[in-house]
Structures are given as structure tokens and as C-alpha cells.
Chains A and B, each alone.
Chain A
Amino acid sequence: MRLLLKATFFYLIITMIVFGVGGIMTYDIFRKQVQMETDRYLISRLWSLQNSVENGESPFSFVSENLSIKEVDNTIEETKYAFSDTLADHPNPRISRLEPHRKLSVIRKIEEKTYKVEIFDVIVESDDIFSGVFKSQTRLFIILGAVLVISSFLMSTWLFRPFNVTLQAIKNFKLYDVSELKLQKTSTREFKELNEILKQMTKKIQADYRSLKEFSENASHEMQTPLAVAKGKIELLLQSKNLDKEHLQLINSSYEAIDHLSKMSRSLSLLTKIENLEFSDFKKINLSEKVKSAIYDFQELLELKQIHIEFELARNVMIESDPVMIQILITNLFQNAIRHNVSRGSISVQLTKRALRISNTGHPLRSSSSDLFKRFKKDDQSGETIGLGLAIAKKICEVNKFEIIYKYEHERHVIELRFSGA
């Protein structure tokens, strides 16, 4: 739920409570006010009665449904106004119903005589007051709620625009991007602070990442020279006479290990180069030709492994990329398809305007297919391969904004490249 909408709901709940309490208070005030008015009215009637009697009129001529006068013993003292609520017949005689009435009862001495006077008046019923207050409060609440929800919607688009821009920028943020985070200027302090912090953070992250990358690039580069020295020494050692089988075995193991290491560091530095966008000589490339020549290049290896290859290449599929990078990509995919094949297996290559699909026979993966494109993750842990081929392929796809998908269907490994721009 949107923040502003959520806040609105909270606000509405609070308003509801306030309206409830307010309603009770209004009801109470109303009721008291009405009572006060009624009481005053009753008193004024008493006074006018008193006046009339003092002027010589008979008090009993005033008796009606809501006024009763009785003469009482003269010894009884005058009393203060005593108000009480009571039920009496409805003032309209045709409605035979008891209605709540306000009663003023008092004992007065008028012209040497003592009377007990009781005056009644219909009062406004409390449920009438209640329903009136309730209705008006509810309507107010509904209007307020509607206005709040609508305005929160409108505000969230306007007020939160810088925030949404920031969100989008973070979503599109790439660690290896050189460009700074692009954020919208805002006058809201919170968003300003957020943007400031984000900018500083991403700047620092990018700088750290760059220096880390530089380090790994330098390390893999610097490693090559000592490796070359060691490799050379072993080659020289090999030339010496009187080496027996045991010596050769030892020499062989260390030679292989060094060879493996040097291949690994070469692949790693290639990976870093791709990440650093060092292959940026983008031009139009005829992918059909590239794939065709790769098939030709691998012909011999295919024959030696007795792998049958079939292909279906659309003509003149053009993509925009760096030729070296594409060469590496295609080579890696072919190598992969050959390496993880079975004897007398097959490879099929399909190239269309939208995708390149290479599938090969092979045993199912033992490890998870989601690890397939990760560095040093290899299904075959024998150590013969380096486990960077597909990581490099994936990285090249990322740089070129291709989609690379792996599936295993009908006992075949399928790798599909989808060109977005095509």
C-alpha cells in the first residue's frame, strides 16, 4: 500500500475516533442547551401566570394539559424551582402516546394564597438529538474521507515524484557503470537528504568496486610473468638428461598446475576486461559469417570427437558489437558444446534474426543450472577445466544486452542467446 494512502487511512481512523467523541460531546451540549431553553420557557410561563393572578385573574382559568394548579395549606413554605423529567400525554390529543416532558413544580404564594404549580412542556427527545448529531457527523466524516483519499492520490503523484525518480535510478543503478546516479532536484528536505546520502553511497561503492577491479586486473596481469618464469624453468628442467619416471611425474604435475593457473589468470583478466568495457570497438557484425567460420574452425575437433554437427543459419544476421568480444562468445559456446558432449553425440546450431541457439547431447547437470553461469562453478569438478567459459559468455551477453538462457530438454543442453536489438 502506498505510504500516503496508508497515512490517510490512519488519519481517517483517528478522525473517526475524534468524530465519535465529538459527536458525544455535541449531543451532550445540545441536550443541555435544549433543557436550559425548556427550563427558561417553563419559568417564563410561571411568571406570566403569577403576573396574571396578581392582576386579579383566577389561577384556575389557566389550567390545561400542561399546567396544573392546586391550592395547598398556607403553612407550606415557598420552594425553589424543581425541574424533573417525566412522561405525559402527547400535547396533540389525537396522538395517544406518552412523551417525555419537562416538569417544573414549585410552591408559590400569590396574593396571600399558596399554590402548588406544575408546568409541563414537551422536550426534544434525546434520540432525536442523537440521530441528528449522528447523521451530520457521519456526512461530514464521509466528505472528509473522500477528500482525503482523493487528495492523497493526487499528492502522491506530485509530492512523491522525486522519490519515484530516485527509486527508478536505484533500480537502474549498475555497479560497473561509470556514470553518476541521476536524481531529480527536490525541495523536500527528506528527499534531499535521501538523494544526498544515496549519491555519496553509490559514489563510494563505485570507487571501491573500481579499485577492487583494478586490483584483480593488475594481480592477474602481474601473475603472468612469474608463471612464465616457472613454466620456462620446468621446460628447461625437462631437457636435462637422466630423468627417471618418478621425476617426470613430479615435473608433469607441477607443469600442469602452472599451466592451469596461467590459463585461469588469463581468463580472469579477460573477464575483467569485458567488465571494464575495454572491448568497445562496436560495429556492425555479420553474425551468420562468424558462426559459419566458427563451425569451420571446430570441424577438426568435432571429427576427432566424432560429434555430428547440424546447422541452420539465417543469412546476414547483423548485430552491433565488438568483433573480438563476439568471437570469444561464439568460441566459448562452441567449446562448451563440444566439451560437455558425449562420444558420437551431436550439436545443433540455429541462427535466426532474433536468437542463436546451440544445443548438444550430454548428460544432465549434476549441479543446479542456476550456478551454471557463475565463476568457477563447474559440473565436472575434475579440475581439467577452469570453469570460467560460461561466466565469460554471460558477461559478454550482459555487456551486449543479450539474454542468455540455459535449458535441458530431450537429453540436450540448450543455450540460447536472444538479441534484444534485433
Chain B
Amino acid sequence: MKILIVEDNIELSRNIRSYLEKEGSICETAFSYNQAIDKIISFKYDVIILDLMLPDGNGLDVLKALKDESSEAGILIASAKNSLEDKLEGLDLGADDYITKPFHLSELNARIKAIYRRKNFNNKKLLECNEIKIDTDACEVSVSGNSLELTKKEYELLVYFISNQNRVVTKQSIAEHLWGDHADFYDSFDFVYQHIKNLRKKIILEGGGDYINTIYGMGYKFNTHTK
């Protein structure tokens, strides 16, 4: 996957880059509006992460430029502004998703992958991980060919894990992924734990591996190397 990160904060840009590069994605960075426009004209990207507030221009103008280029890149707006209008305007201009700063890198990663899947570059809407196969169009999961009945939250959880496989995913990011703003609960981590417990049980019951490891105090890891 080829990704362009348009973000004026160097450290933030570096964070995103190192997280995504570990996935094997190729990342390029642009720190200003002009740099972004240069890169868009010169290269093709699968996904573009776009900050709206750039020192020399508005990120929404980058969106317009992309439209003019009739670019096929998936666009994820990452903005500190949590305003509905910006969100709607961005989505109107052809952005695929909108994430508010500060975000969890694992959440960003999952969103990028979702955009990538939806854009259907390789006609691959199938998410695979060892014996687990997920048809993201039909929201169907199978383990070694046996179909797996999951609740909506368990399904979302599994997709999130597989998107961030072999990474430590914090319980906060899971809670926010599952419940959004409603995750602001002191016992939401217990709910996360219950969902994970159920998901794990269901996968093992259908003959899948015990992939979900608990990382002490922090969160969980979907370890594909587990036997």
C-alpha cells in the first residue's frame, strides 16, 4: 500500500509513518499544502491521510485538487477540529473517512485498511488471516471453512484485530473503536474484556487458534504466530 501523509506536525507525521511502515506500507510525507500538491501531481497513492490545517493552505483545497486530478486515492481526513461542518464538507468533497485528533494509531490503521478494502484496488474485499476469512461486504466470518456467528461488536472487534495484527492494541483504543464517544466509561474496559473473551471462545470452538493475547494492563495483541 502506498500512503501519503499530509501533516504539518513533524512528530505526528513521523508517528504515523513508523506505525504504517511496520505494516509494510510505503509512506511518503508532505508537511505543507504546496508539498502535498507537488506529490499528488507527481505520484499515485492508494491512501492519503490529510490534515485540514496546513501552514500555507487548507486541506480541503488539497481535496479539490485531487478531484481535479480525478485521483482514485482513498482519502482519510485527520483533523483537530471536531466540527460537523468540516466533516460534512470533507466528505462532500470526496473524502472517504474523517478521524479526529488525537487518535489511536491502531484506529488510524484500521480506518486506512477499511478505506483500502472499500476502494477495492485488487478486487480483494476478503480479509484473511491464517484460517480466518472475513468477507467485509457481507460481514461474514469463517474459520477453516466453518461459518462463525458473531455479534456486531465481536465482528467489529475481529476486523480491528486483524487490521492491527501482531500489534499491541490498547484497551482504550478498542473501547473507542467499539463505542465511539460512549466509550467514556470507567468500566468500558470490562466490556472490552467480555467481548474479547467471547470472541476468543467462539474462534477456538470452531477450530481456530487462540490468537488473542493479553498484554499485561495495556491491552491485547492478535498474534498470528500462535499455534
Contact = CB atoms under 8 A, between A and B. Distances in A.
Interface stretch (A127-135, A229-237, A345-353): A229-237
Interface residues of B, number: 38
B215 A255 contact: no
Q: Which of B22, B167, B218 has the most C-beta atoms of chain A within 10 angstroms of its own C-beta?
A: B218
A259 B186 contact: no
B194 A304 contact: yes
B25 interface: no
Contact of B101 (A225, A236, A252, A259): A225
Contact of A228 (B103, B191, B194, B217): B103
B12 interface: yes
A335 interface: yes
A301 B18 contact: no
B186 A236 contact: no
Contact of A236 (B18, B172, B215, B219): B18
A315 interface: no
B29 interface: no
A308 interface: no
Given A248-B216, A263-B184, A232 B15 contact: yes
Interface in A300-333: 300-301, 304-305, 324, 331
Interface string A207-244: 00000000000000100110111011101101100000
A382 B186 contact: yes
Contacts of B217: 248-249, 252
A384 B186 contact: yes
B21 to A, nearest CB: 11
A191 to B, nearest CB: 45
Contacts of B12: 225, 228-229, 232
Interface in B42-75: none
28 contacts: A221-B80, A224-B80, A225-B9, A225-B101, A231-B102, A232-B16, A232-B19, A235-B170, A236-B15, A236-B19, A236-B105, A238-B168, A238-B215, A248-B216, A248-B217, A251-B218, A255-B218, A269-B82, A301-B179, A304-B191, A304-B194, A305-B187, A335-B182, A335-B184, A335-B185, A385-B184, A385-B186, A386-B184
Interface of B: 9, 11-12, 15-16, 18-19, 22, 80, 82, 84, 101-106, 153, 167-168, 170, 172, 179, 181-182, 184-188, 190-191, 194, 215-219
Given A235-B105, A255-B172, A304-B194, 16 more contacts: A225-B12, A228-B15, A228-B80, A228-B103, A233-B15, A235-B104, A235-B168, A245-B216, A251-B218, A335-B184, A335-B185, A338-B185, A339-B185, A384-B186, A385-B184, A385-B186
Interface of A: 221, 224-225, 227-229, 231-233, 235-236, 238-239, 245, 248-249, 251-252, 255-256, 259, 262-263, 266, 269, 297-298, 300-301, 304-305, 324, 331, 335, 338-339, 382, 384-386, 389
